[in-house]
Structure 1
Amino acid sequence: MPPAPLPPTEAERLAVLRSYAVLDTEGEVAFDELVALAARLTGCPMALISLVDADRQWFKACLGLDLRETPRDRAFCAHAILDPTQALEVPDATRDARFADNPLVTGPAAIRSYLGVPLLTPEGHALGTLCVLDRVPRRHDATTVETLQVLARAVAANLELRRGLRRASGLAMTDPLTGLTNRCAVQAALAEAMAQSRPLALVAIDLDNFKEVNDAEGHAAGDALLCAAADRIRAALRPGDVVGRLSGDEFLVLLPGVAEREAALAIAQRIGAALQGFVPHAGRPLRLGASLGLALAPQDAEEPELLLRTADEAMRRAKRECRGGVATATRADADQLLRAAAIARAFDSDAAADEALPGATVHLQPILSFAAHAEAGAVVALEALARWSHPDVGAVPPAELFPILGTDRALRLGSAVRRRALAAVAALRQAGLTNARVSLNLSAGEVALSDIALHLADQVEAAGLSLRAVEIEITEEVLLDRVSDRTLDQLAALRGRGARLVLDDFGTGNSGLSQLLRLPLDSLKLDKRFVQRLGTDHRAEEIVRATVSLAHGLGLEVVAEGVETERQAAMLHNLGCDHAQGFLFARPMPLAALEDWLRARVTGKVKQLRKVS
């Protein structure tokens, strides 16, 4: 029994067969139904989808034959694939020299007749056949052959669909630029690794100055950096380590089995060193560098998402404190992230419970005038400061709260606090306790809203106040990039109706002087960092002096915030500041405490802002 010769493109054919990843897979209904239909339409008791491998034929679907594979040298189909354009018919195997002594003919299978149609790929290769067999001699007519050819094309189409789906799945798990696993795949690998409760180190990587290179040199240069970074990370890893690209210039490395922080740090440092240097592109060098964050499981975190966020937090610390180096996470980092998540969940439950945001409150801090009579400074304004608490997390300080909230939550909190502040000041005015204005802070997200001026006007009117009772505070950092000309025009229109516009934290932004030209202002608030260095740093005194002179030259008043000592107050007055705000006079207070404070002023029982010379 001579074996069938190999097709002339056998190496290519086998490579294509491998690309289908179908060998040794479980049965599939679509293929089982096709062989059953082939047997029924041809009247044969046996039908197969046979794939011819290097040294065997393997059956993806089989009817009437109790086999899953046979050696290739016994395969009728190995002969059928030699001419992919033709069906192979063997009317009586016992009379065919190629098959007369074949064990499939002489043995229990007792095959006597065969009809096989090659399964053609788009590349023109025959993977195997759809074939029908019988235990008696028979010759098939042209209609039967044509029917089997139609069914063979259906088998080939299903195989191609299967390959296409597999490729699509592979692409869905692969970053197309670098060839690394993508976010979905690397996060799945992280979850699977941690589910096994084995030690694991995680390294979060962010390229340094990538945006600058991308903007200055173009996207092709940025892509070159990303691909070079991917290659260098791969080269620095051990066998079995996993690296993926999360997005943009962020990468993630999984180090399975690494339990000691020192060992993990050594690998992270090796990765970091590999990422330092230059990448040639278009005849010029591009600077490559990265900052890395390291976290370990289970020491730092026991959940995949928390471990990832902990490593990311460590990477951000590296960006801030040791750019181009490696920062390691701690359990405290994970605990802080857990608290942040708890605060966000509690805030969302609070917001869902009531549009008024039940946990939101307002504290009001008086702003006093230096220009008042000799005994007591007048309260010219009350700054509204947001506070929030929840039964699950307690009272959350603003410095902790606002970085956690993000833009959308901050918008809800800001609106709720303004309503409370306006109502509180309206009540104080109605009670005759003050004529002070209410000073309202606008966050970056609020200033960016196209209808913020209209929203403010509606809230003021709903509280029964006029815009003459309102100051609107905007920091120069917020004003710098986020305000459209339309919004500026609307804020200017509010000023035209009586509201005062105040530039807060003056002197701390990137371009403070330029902001004085963008919006008609009434006042500047001098940042407390300058105020609190008065008397200890002569440079602070000169900055305050220059700011006051500049402001007064522009017709603006100056408010000094953060005043804590008598000496600071005296120096500010002598330097020409118009108003002061700080713990020396009053802390931010809820409405009831402010009412008591205002009443106590009449009796002289609280700290007064005396006129100093």
Structure 2
Amino acid sequence: MPPAPLPPDEAKRLLALRSYEILDTEAEEAFDRIVTLAADLTGNPIALVSLVDEARQWFKAGVGLPVRETHRDHAFCAHAILSPREAMVVTDAVQDPRLCDNPLVTGEPGLRSYLGVPLVDSDGFALGTLCVLDTVAKAPGDGAVALLRTLAQAVVANLELHRALRRSEAMALTDEVTGLPNRRGIAATLGRAMQERQAVTVIVIDLDHFKEANDSAGHAAGDAVLREVAQRLRQGVRGGDVVGRIGGDEFAVLLMGLADRAAATEAVRRLSAVLHKPVAHAGMSLRLGATIGAAMAPADADGAEAALRLADEAMVQAKRLGRGGIGWACRADAERVHRVTAIIRAFDADLGGATVLSGATVHLQPILRLDGTQATVAVEALARWADPELGAVPPAQLFPAIGPARAARLGEVVRDQALAAMAVLRGSGLTGARLAINLSAAEVARADIVEHIVAQVERGGLGLDAIEVEITEEVLLDRVSNRTLDQLAALRGRGAKLALDDFGTGHSGLAQLLRLPLDAVKLDKRFVQKLGTDRRAEEIIRATVSLAHGLGMVVVAEGVETAQQAAMATALGCDRAQGYFFAAPMDRQALSAWLMDRQPDAPGAPVPLRPRGQRAAG
């Protein structure tokens, strides 16, 4: 029996078939239903979705034939695909010279009749057929060809959808600029390797001088640097290793199967060397360098994300010692990253895609006036989160671990709780203080932040005139758009007060204070807590108070923990204070009791600090 001749475009046809990544995949209900329909509606015991591969025909779906594939030389469909636009009809295979000595005809199952419609993709390639067969000789029934053509179109549509979904998934795991796997892709590859108990050396690379290339020569130059780095890294690793871009100027390399520390160290050094050579672009020589961190998995970490974080931590530690270095993870790093990973997992489990965070609570800390009355002028809402197994996670651990997106969700939930609590306290007449809420730079950048906050405040039973919005210095950085600042100005214009939190952390500089109309500046607690022990802190606070007052702003001393700090903050001209010396953060019930104890006629009401004889602040 001579085999069917090959189509003239066979090489391209095979490439098209393989682009669907469908061969040898599991059964799928959509295809199974189509072959069942084809068999039932045409009155044939056998129906197949047959894909003609290089040396075989493989059945994606089938009824009536208990095999998944046959040799291509035995495939009726190998003949059918030679005429992609026509149905192939065989009324009696014994009488057909192409098929009469076919083993499937002369032996089991003794095939006689065949009707096959080619599965033609959008580029015109016949991938295989949808076919029906019987063990008795017969012509197809009325309408059988038209029916099979319709069902074949459904098969092709499902194949196209299958390919589109796979390509979409691949794009979601691929970096657009370099074509390398992105962070999700790297994490997925690393996760599979660790599930298979394969040793991997995980390398995180942060490019030095990348911003310099972008700023001096434009984004095209930056993209050229990224592509060149990708090429150098691919050339610098073995065939089975994986290179990815996991951030703006961060890359990752997975040295698969490498558990030997000495060999891994040598490999990292080679990569470092190739990344310290300049990049030629548009007649320029762009400076390049890299700081590298590395970790061994599973020796140092038991999960993909933990291993990446550990390598990243090693890179950060190396960068603190100067650019261009190489850092290796240590056991202390592993324990810290393990804690971070546990926090993220527990937080995500708490989130669960729902609208609540069961572990989230609000603590409220009073802000007092330093004019001799110690009146409570505001109450700051502070986010807290606890997990049944991890316990209460301190904010200093929580926020660096969960990142800005999760922190924004936590802030949302906590603001709702704080607004409800203050509505009760103000409604009971215990206080007329405003509620101070925190907004991160990411939240302020939301296009609908004004409407969002207004709706949230009103839903909580308050108005904007009862709100102080606290922002960090990050919001005032030069790279923050004027539109973002306009969002804040709009909130202030509708009655809210604006305060700059943690002032003095070094991010903005004094000139940035002019970018936004502010009502208050909150001094970072590191200055306040050095009062009485560091003369420089006193001078910085004195100068800041003078500047703020000159700009019409109120100054708040944060983190006041001792009587000496409170007295010195007052003497230096601070208008308000906040800290454990006055009151710790507390829940609504505790704050209610604290406010009641401070009523003028309450027994044991606190004696106010001596007035400083300077201007009072509202």
> TM > 0.5 between the two?
yes
2:364 aligns with 362
Distance 1:473 1:97 in 2: 86
2:195 aligns with 195
Per-residue CA deviations over 1:13-62 (Å, capped at 9, x if unaligned) read: 55556556677778864786698689968xxx999988776667778879
The 5 A counterparts of 1:301-380 are: 301-304=301-304, 306-307=306-307, 325-326=326-327, 328=329, 329-339=333-343, 341-342=345-346, 352=356, 359-364=361-366, 366-369=368-371, 377-380=372-375
DSSP-derived class of the 1:339 partner: helix
1:399 aligns with 396
Give the counterpart of 1:512 among 510, 513, 516.
Answer: 510
Give the counterpart of 2:164 among 164, 168, 181.
Answer: 168
2:438 aligns with 443
CA contact (8 A) 1:174 1:182 kept: no
Higher mean displacement: 232-241 or 62-71: 62-71
Distance 2:341 2:289 in 1: 27
Per-residue CA deviations over 1:178-224 (Å, capped at 9, x if unaligned) read: 44456665554444333334444444556667678668866655554
DSSP-derived class of the 1:361 partner: strand
Q: Confirm whether residue 577 of structure 1 aligns to residue 573 of structure 2.
A: yes
1:233 aligns with 233
Structure 1 portions without partners, runs of 5+? 370-376, 431-436
State the 1:330 CA deviation. 0.6
Higher mean displacement: 392-401 or 403-412: 392-401
Structure 2 length as normaliser, TM-score?
0.65
2:616 aligns with none
CA gap of 1:62–1:334, structure 2 versus 1, over 3 A, is closer
2:379 aligns with 384
The 5 A counterparts of 1:108-257 are: 119=118, 121=120, 157=153, 160-161=156-157, 164-175=160-171, 177=176, 178-181=178-181, 186-204=186-204, 223-244=223-244, 253-257=253-257
Structure 2 portions without partners, runs of 5+? 614-618
2:547 aligns with 550
State the 1:269 CA deviation. 5.3
Distance 1:532 1:185 in 2: 46
Distance 1:71 1:389 in 2: 63
State the 1:443 CA deviation. 1.1
Higher mean displacement: 122-131 or 524-533: 122-131
Distance 1:453 1:283 in 2: 53
CA contact (8 A) 1:367 1:383 kept: no
Distance 1:127 1:489 in 2: 61
Per-residue CA deviations over 1:325-371 (Å, capped at 9, x if unaligned) read: 556341321123313554676699999499xx9943323364534xx
Distance 1:380 1:148 in 2: 89
Distance 1:241 1:543 in 2: 53
CA contact (8 A) 1:585 1:609 kept: no
1:373 aligns with none
Q: Confirm whether residue 410 of structure 1 aligns to residue 411 of structure 2.
A: yes
The 5 A counterparts of 1:403-552 are: 403=400, 404=402, 406-417=407-418, 420=421, 438=433, 440-445=435-440, 448=444, 449-450=449-450, 452=453, 476-478=473-475, 481=480, 484-485=485-486, 487-488=488-489, 491=492, 494=495, 503-508=500-505, 509-516=507-514, 518-519=516-517, 521=519, 524-531=521-528, 540=537, 542-552=539-549
Q: Which structure's CA Rg is the greater one? A: 1
- CA root-mean-square deviation: 6.2
DSSP-derived class of the 1:379 partner: coil
State the 1:298 CA deviation. 3.9
CA gap of 1:394–1:490, structure 2 versus 1, over 3 A, is same
Higher mean displacement: 380-389 or 400-409: 380-389
1:374 aligns with none
Distance 1:67 1:252 in 2: 41
State the 1:174 CA deviation. 2.2
The 5 A counterparts of 1:7-26 are: 11-12=11-12, 15=15
Per-residue CA deviations over 1:553-593 (Å, capped at 9, x if unaligned) read: 4455655555677887787677x525474779646375456
